[in-house]
A and B are shown apart, each in its own frame.
Chain A
Amino acid sequence: MNAPLTMRTYHFKIYRYDPDKDAKPYMQDISVECDPMDKKLLDAMVKLKAKDDSLSFRRSCREGVCGSDAMNINGKNGLACLTDLAAFPEGKPIVLRPLPGLPVVRDLIVDMTQFFKQYLSIKPYLVNDEPVPERERLQSPEEREDLNGLYECILCACCTTACPSFWWNPDKFVGPAGLLAAYRFIADSRDQATNERLDNLEDPYRLFRCHTIMNCVDVCPKNLNPTKAIGKIKEMMVQRAV
Chain B
Amino acid sequence: MGRMVVGAHYGLKDWMAQRITAVLMAIYAVVIFVAVLCGAASSHEAWLAFMRGGLVRVISFLFILSLGYHAWVGVRDIWMDYIKQTSVRIVLHVLTLLMLIGCAGWAIQIIWRL
Known interface pairs A168-B81, A168-B82, A169-B81; A208-B6 also in contact (CB < 8 Å): no
Q: Does B114 contact A (CB under 8 A)?
A: no
Closest to A114 in B: B1
| Pair B15/A234 contact, Cβ less than 8 Å | yes
Q: Does A165 contact B (CB under 8 A)?
A: yes
Task: Count residues on chain A whose CB falls below 8 Å from chain B CBs.
Answer: 21
Question: Closest Cβ of chain B: how far from A235's Cβ, in Å?
Answer: 11
Q: Does B55 contact A (CB under 8 A)?
A: no
Contact residue among A121, A201, A204 (Cβ-Cβ distance under 8 Å from B14): A204
| Pair B12/A238 contact, Cβ less than 8 Å | yes
Q: Does B7 contact A (CB under 8 A)?
A: yes
Q: Does B30 contact A (CB under 8 A)?
A: no
Question: Closest Cβ of chain B: how far from A215's Cβ, in Å?
Answer: 15
| Pair B15/A208 contact, Cβ less than 8 Å | yes
Q: Which of A204, A207, A211 has the most CB of B within 10 A?
A: A204
- B7: A residues at CB distance < 8 A: 199-203
| Pair B12/A205 contact, Cβ less than 8 Å | no
- A121: B residues at CB distance < 8 A: 4, 6
Q: Does B8 contact A (CB under 8 A)?
A: yes
Interface residues of A in 61-92 (CB under 8 A from B): none
Task: Count residues on chain B whose CB falls below 8 Å from chain A CBs.
Answer: 17
| Pair A200/B6 contact, Cβ less than 8 Å | yes
Question: Closest Cβ of chain A: how far from B73's Cβ, in Å?
Answer: 10
Contact residue among B4, B6, B9, B12 (Cβ-Cβ distance under 8 Å from A234): B12
Q: Does A184 contact B (CB under 8 A)?
A: no
Residues of B contacting A: mostly? helix
Q: Does B11 contact A (CB under 8 A)?
A: yes
Q: Does B94 contact A (CB under 8 A)?
A: no
Question: Closest Cβ of chain B: how far from A8's Cβ, in Å?
Answer: 44
| Pair A203/B8 contact, Cβ less than 8 Å | yes
Q: Does B10 contact A (CB under 8 A)?
A: yes
Q: Does A138 contact B (CB under 8 A)?
A: no
Known interface pairs A169-B81, A234-B15; A204-B6 also in contact (CB < 8 Å): no
Known interface pairs A199-B7, A200-B6; A208-B82 also in contact (CB < 8 Å): no
**C-alpha spacing A203/B10, complex, angstroms:** 6
| Pair A237/B12 contact, Cβ less than 8 Å | yes
**Interface 0/1 of B1-31, CB less than 8 Å to A:** 1001011111111111000000000000000
* Chain B residues within CB distance 8 Å of chain A: 1, 4, 6-16, 77, 80-82
User: 12 interchain pairs (CB within 8 A)?
Assistant: A169-B81, A199-B9, A201-B11, A203-B8, A204-B8, A204-B10, A204-B14, A205-B11, A234-B12, A237-B12, A238-B16, A241-B12
Other than A121-B6, A201-B11, A241-B13, give 4 A-B pairs with Cβ distance below 8 A: A201-B6, A202-B8, A203-B7, A204-B80
